[in-house]
Amino acid sequence: MSSKSVAPANSLSGTIALSPDKSIAQRAAIFSLLHDGSSTIYNYSQAQDPQTTLKCVQHLGAKVEIEADKICIYGVGREGISALKGELDCGNSGTAMRLLSGLLTGVGLSIKLIGDRSLSGRTMTRIITPLKEMGAHILARNGVFAPLYISRENPLKALEFTLPIPSAQLKSCILLAGLFGEEESCVIEPIPSRDHTERLLQLRVETDALGIRHIYASKSDVIPAQNYRIPGDYSAAAFWLVAGTIVPNSVITLLNVGLNPTRIASLQILKEMGAQVKITEDDSDFDEPVAELTVQTTELTGIDIPLEWIPNAIDELPILAVAMAFANGESHIRGAAELRHKETDRIMAITKLLDAIGSSYVEYRDGLSIQGNPHLDFDGTRFESFHDHRIAMASAVAALRGNKMSSIKDAEVTAVSYPEFWNHLDLLRD
């Protein structure tokens, strides 16, 4: 990979249609495989992770037809899944590896799941433990890392599992395995996480007297066809919401942004900091809440993020840290130890970004305190992406506030989630 140069920006303006939501796209592909019939998905993502998942689905028996504005997936149902090859390559996608591990535990196939260097460095302990309780035999490198060798000789066991942390991937992994069980499995969710899986599969969800969600899955659940349009990725929108706020004289409009309530804590955080974001609801044919967002330049104030907001803002914390660096006063991120187990140690990566722009901070095991300065002044610098798409994009936004040209190492990694990022940045400059 090569470096990308980013010049300072005096303003940003324009309207962009965001890359489709990759979390929804990947689930749509996997659930289409499970449906015994055809599914039509409009606006499927061209990012690397969803494309990797699509290939995995094909290797497990689905037929995929790709057209200009849609893909058609012909699923094989629970009984038709087979391993056309002895291994599945999940690339850089933690979503693919974790969800497919659950599905393959349910099916009972003997198969090997591999990933790239980054994915192979991420711990899989959280899914290995419950899947073994359900009857899976799993071999992993050093007991915790991919490649994963999954098989199951004994009948699938139903599981009642309380999520130790808010994790949509862990939740989805167990529910997908549970779809093959004669008895119901139940995931108990003390703190809500992304709910795309239960939405798209139309699973039974009950809320107890304490407001805690219980999600159920079993062989008796009918897998619906996945016929819908995928909205724009809110995680991608967050970069432009921050850029439009901290770059002077900016007005940016974002079309068809998915606003699933379990995904948008960072929007609330930015609004609490003083960001001016106009929300215009979209009533077109999306199966999730969608809106048009318009953001303009304003001064921000530091924030102490409530702990309960952290799980649903976890992916946006790198770009929120950039916003905090240019805000008035001090900001605090705690309860975010999960950041250390992403594509890279994102807390460490954020500190290096802050070092590059001369921002003051204190690092904790589970977060950061950042001393903001709206007049933060720095010359061109060299940002390290750590081969992490979100760190690369957060660095690009920070670079817009520099006095001279900056560079970002391995900038092409943005293609993992947002292949159009650099083109959209150029568009907003014009």
**Residues with catalytic function:** 315
Identify the three-state secondary structure at position 214.
strand
Identify the three-state secondary structure at position 321.
helix
With CA atoms as reference, report the closest residue to 254 among 266, 244, 263. 244
Tokens representing residue 417 in the block: 């989630």
Report CA-CA distances (Å) from 264 to 102, 270, 349: 26, 10, 23
Tokens representing residue 274 in the block: 């003083």
Distance CA 361, CA 327 (A): 13
Tokens representing residue 376 in the block: 């933060």
Are 219 and 209 within 8 A, CB to CB?
no
Torsions phi, psi of 333, nearest 5? -120, 115
Q: Which of the 8 DSSP states describes residue 304?
A: B
Farthest-apart Cα atoms in the chain, separation: 64
Distance CA 103, CA 119 (A): 19
Tell me the residue ranges of DSSP E strands in 306-396. Answer: 329-333, 360-364, 367-372, 382-383
Tell whether the torsion through CA atoms of 309, 20, 321 and 240 is positive or negative: negative
Beta strand 228-229 with 38-42: parallel, antiparallel or unpaired? parallel
| Bridge partners of residue 276, in order along the sequence | 296
| Number of other residues whose CB lies within 10 A of the CB of residue 84 | 9
> Which secondary-structure segment (H or E) carries 175?
helix 168-178
With CA atoms as reference, report the closest residue to 231 among 196, 270, 179, 273. 196
